[in-house]
Amino acid sequence: MQSNHLYNLMKQYVQEHKSLWRIKRNYIKDAKGHPDVVAFWKKMQVDKEKHVKELQALIKKYSK
């Protein structure tokens, strides 16, 4: 059984990954013609990618 904090990390990883997927697959494409919005989504994409990597490292560390 996983500890509560590990479960929380895994749950958040899933949420961040889903959000990143939507940004990459839909939001940037839908914002075409609006450069400021595209720039926002691209910045958000970078942030989400960092969060996903950090969560992966924490999950790996605490799942042992």
Tens of pLDDT, residue by residue over 23-59, are 999 999 999 999 999 999 999 999 999 999 999 999 9
C-alpha–C-alpha distance, residues 56 and 51, integer Å: 8
**Model confidence band, residue 64 (pLDDT cutoffs 50, 70, 90):** confident
C-alpha–C-alpha distance, residues 46 and 6, integer Å: 24
Residue 3 has a pLDDT of 80
Q: Which positions ≥6 away from 40 have C-beta within 8 Å?
A: 31
Q: Are 56 and 13 in contact (CB under 8 A)?
A: yes
Task: Supply the pTM of this predicted model.
Answer: 0.88
